[in-house]
Amino acid sequence: MNKLRLFPKMVIVIGVIFGIAGVVAAGAGFYINGFVTQQLTTQNITTPGDATIPNAQVNDIATALSMADIIQHHAASSSDGLTYAEMGRFKAADGNPAGTSKVDEALLDDNGKPVANGARNTQLTAASLVTSLSLSAMAIGLSYGAIALGFGFIVLGIVIAGFGYALLGLITPEVAERFGLQPVAMTA
């Protein structure tokens, strides 16, 4: 009889493990969501008037992506559509908007030093900001997934533990009596 009770008890333990995993996953999702949202809010970023979501504080997925999009748009317009990787470190003496990385082709200042390509520096800053905002949006989205997965695991754990308890009731007279069931008759 003890060996027969082992399986339902193992099923109950597995259900409890799923339930605990669900609580941990949902808790982690809530924590990550709160942390990222708080970090965005602390930066006190407001989308500009020409953004897809104008004049809004950046603190969620939609506003973070709207801000990333407008930063990319402004950076692209300041560099004639060239990306950071397509531009040289210095301004070109011939006026080419792509600039140059060769010192002998660079525009020189009054001291004879190459002039930095400001549009390239703007693109670097824009790429960093766009990446940060996009990762924040992704982290918030993943936190929602973790919360949903956590609740799914909790429900699954309850179902599995309930199934194990029902099995235990079928083979254990004390448990069966609590629910008005007849345990399976054992023959020796």
DSSP 145-170: HHHHHHHHHHHHHHHHHHHHHHHHHH
Q: Kindly state whether residue 133 falls inside one of the protein's structural domains.
A: yes
DSSP state of 46: B
What global pTM score does this model have?
Answer: 0.78
Judge whether 133 and 65 are in contact, CB under 8 Å.
yes
Alpha-carbon distance of 42 to 48, in angstroms, equals 18
Q: Of 151, 157, 146, give the one whose Cα is nearest residue 19.
A: 157
Alpha-carbon distance of 135 to 116, in angstroms, equals 29
Q: Kindly state whether residue 6 falls inside one of the protein's structural domains.
A: yes
CA distances from 103 to 34, 79, 88, 92 (A): 48, 20, 10, 9
**What are residue 147's phi and psi, to 5 degrees?**
-65, -45
Q: Kindly state whether residue 56 falls inside one of the protein's structural domains.
A: yes
Q: Kindly state whether residue 14 falls inside one of the protein's structural domains.
A: yes
End-to-end Cα distance, the chain: 10
Write out the chain's pLDDT in tens, 188 residues.
567 778 889 999 999 999 999 999 999 999 999 999 999 999 999 999 999 999 999 999 999 999 999 999 999 888 888 888 899 999 998 888 888 999 888 999 999 899 999 889 899 999 999 999 999 999 999 999 999 999 999 999 999 999 998 888 777 777 667 766 666 665 55
- Number of domains composing the chain: 1
Q: Kindly state whether residue 186 falls inside one of the protein's structural domains.
A: no
Q: Kindly state whether residue 57 falls inside one of the protein's structural domains.
A: yes
Residue type, 120: R
Q: Kindly state whether residue 164 falls inside one of the protein's structural domains.
A: yes
Q: Kindly state whether residue 187 falls inside one of the protein's structural domains.
A: no
Residue 8, domain extent: 2-178
